[in-house]
Amino acid sequence: MLLTHNSCHCSRPAGEPLSNREPKLRFGFTTALSVKNWRLSAMFQGRYHADVVNATMRDMLGTGLNWLSVDMREKGFVVFDGVLYDGKQESDNPTKNTIAVNLGEYGSYTYTGGDEDWIQHKINYIRCQELRLAYVFPHNWLNRVTKGTVQNASIYASANDLFTITNYTGTDVAGNTLSAAAGGTGGEGYDCWSLPTPRSYSVGLSVTFGSNDEASKPVYTNTNVLNDQINDLRAQLANAENNFNGRLAQLQNDLDAANRALNNCKSDLIAAKNAPKDIATKVVDNSKQYMNILVHYPKAGTSITADQRANVERIAAYLKSHPNATCEIKGYASPEGNQENNIKLANGRAASVKDMLVKKYGIAANRIKAEGQGISNMFDELSWNRVSICEIIVK
């Protein structure tokens, strides 16, 4: 992760493939158990070692709609593991990041990382597509009761998409955007605000009617007619497969063209980044670097609480590793209470950070400037204004 004082972003090698939604294995099987006139059957389908994009969770995190985004915003200040974007980020000795970021200060929208962070690999699942229990009425009983009017009869109850067993953590592992129930597999591997195929139940009665004479006659099947029908279906299937392969080839050509255009854009971007930065050298002054660290206080308090001591320790560590750096500490108080008391609180809060840096961590007092700034209205949340802002300056 590369960081500046205003932004952060991830990077990866250009042109590197991220994943493959095609599984190592697709499988399906049926099973049945018959006991006298009862029959229990089941049909299962699944995939082994496929990649799935969890776009639903990424969108919910980015827009602040799930609890993970709430936890991130309420976590407080975090120092991301990365390097500073200061010109040394691609050298052998990049500058390690020390910038603390509070995601709660940026509203409900959260940075969600790169595309590769939301691809789950080696996903497996097995789905129960149908579970059916049927009872076939005895033929002799039907013939006696209905006097040959009903040749065959059965009653059944079935459940479709009853359960799915998977190691996927998102919503829809099967990809119901164009699932098998809709006549295709185009949504496979993309979980983007799609819901799994709903569970359904059905019961039914199957009856075959016929007269006494018909019931006693054997049934003959014209195999030539059946063969013609089978051959016709095979021809339709072959034609559909040819059309699909042609469309797939066209889509692959379009994808190759899009990749070429993307590579050209990346080349232009790299060239632009490597171009001489004459304007930047005239405008930007890099003679000084700044880093801000905040220390928060309880209401009417000037003592540094245990949960805030880590921020002071980070200031001390930075000052020790940068002998030329100095620190300016500005203390503030919230608008609550009378003004005279708030001025004392602001001065006390600035002094408490300096005292800890000098007495506990041995930082020279002449490198630290501490002063109270009185009442702060920087934040709408009153408790956020009870703060010491420590600005470290590296010359």
- Strand 83-84, strand 2-3: pairing: parallel
Cα distances from 258 to residues 247, 252, 262, 264, in angstroms, run 17, 10, 6, 10
Instruction: Give the helix ranges, DSSP H, for the chain.
Output: 55-62, 67-74, 139-146, 212-216, 223-274, 278-283, 309-321, 339-359
| Residue 345 and residue 302 in contact, taking contact as beta carbons nearer than 8 Å | yes
Helices 67-74 and 55-62: crossing angle, nearest 10°? 40
Q: Which two tokens stand for residue 105?
A: 């200060």
DSSP state of 96: B
Q: Which of 223-237, 322-336, 341-355 has the lowest mean pLDDT?
A: 223-237
pLDDT given at position 253? 85
Residue 286 pLDDT grade (very low, low, confident, very high; cuts 50, 70, 90): low
Indicate the fold that domain 289-394 takes in CATH.
Answer: 60s Ribosomal Protein L30; Chain: A; (3.30.1330)
pLDDT given at position 281? 45
What percent of the residues of the chain are helix, what percent strand, and what percent coil, each to the nearest 5? 35, 30, 35
Residue 356 pLDDT grade (very low, low, confident, very high; cuts 50, 70, 90): very high
Q: What are phi and psi of 77, to 5 degrees?
A: -80, 135
pLDDT given at position 277? 59
The yes-or-no verdict on residue 179 having pLDDT over 70 is no
Q: 317, 311, 329, 294: which is closest to 363 by C-alpha?
A: 317
The 10s digit of each residue's pLDDT in 131-163 is: 999 999 998 888 888 888 898 999 999 999 999
Rounded CA-CA distance 383/363 in Å is: 29
Rounded CA-CA distance 393/325 in Å is: 5
The yes-or-no verdict on residue 322 having pLDDT over 80 is yes
Q: Report which secondary-structure segment, H or E, holds 305.
A: none
The 10s digit of each residue's pLDDT in 87-137 is: 888 889 999 988 888 877 766 677 777 778 888 899 999 999 899 999 999
- Tell me which long-range contacts 182-189 makes (C-beta under 8 A, separation of at least 24): 188/21, 188/50, 189/21, 189/50, 189/51, 189/52, 189/53
End-to-end CA distance of the chain: 25
User: Tokens 């405008």 sit at which residue?
Assistant: 283
The yes-or-no verdict on residue 270 having pLDDT over 80 is yes
The 10s digit of each residue's pLDDT in 18-68 is: 778 888 999 999 999 999 899 999 999 999 998 988 888 888 888 878 787
Q: CA 205, 208, 210, 216 torsion: positive or negative?
A: negative
Rounded CA-CA distance 171/58 in Å is: 12
Residue 7 pLDDT grade (very low, low, confident, very high; cuts 50, 70, 90): very low
pLDDT given at position 9? 46
Residue ranges covered by each domain of the chain = 2-219, 289-394
The yes-or-no verdict on residue 73 having pLDDT over 80 is no
Q: Is 290 helix (H, G, I), strand (E, B) or coil?
A: strand
pLDDT given at position 115? 78
